[in-house]
Amino acid sequence: MAKEDFSLIWNRITTHAGRPFITDKGREFRYSIEGGGIRLSNPDAWISRGALEDAARAMPCAVFSKLPAHCKPRNCVWAILHDTRIAIPEWLELEEPTRRRR
């Protein structure tokens, strides 16, 4: 992914700050723009713009465990990058991830 491509994604991320996002387990969270990254509301975590860019380079991926290990919490990063308000359409063309039965 080229730098200019991530600028488009970053613009979308900043535009949708404060709005609800949902993890694959159905947990709602929000984020705000803080410094050079985002501050999550639940869990309380900060993710740098650089980590988000690294995660975007790993896209598309069907499960959050395939994102770079330093992009934590990965389930929230995956939820943001897979949200239709943020994602590049090609990222969403993957099949739904297979879920383990409990």
- The pLDDT, as a whole number, for residue 14 is 97
Residue 95 pLDDT greater than 70, yes or no: no
Q: Give dist(CA 96, CA 9) in Å, integer.
A: 22
Q: Give dist(CA 92, CA 97) in Å, integer.
A: 11
Q: What are the extents of the domains in the chain?
A: 3-93
- The pLDDT, as a whole number, for residue 94 is 61
**What's the average model confidence in pLDDT over 48-67?**
90
pTM for the full model?
0.84
Q: Give dist(CA 46, CA 70) in Å, integer.
A: 12
Averaged pLDDT of the chain: 86
- The pLDDT, as a whole number, for residue 17 is 98
Nearest to 51 by CA among 16, 21, 9: 9
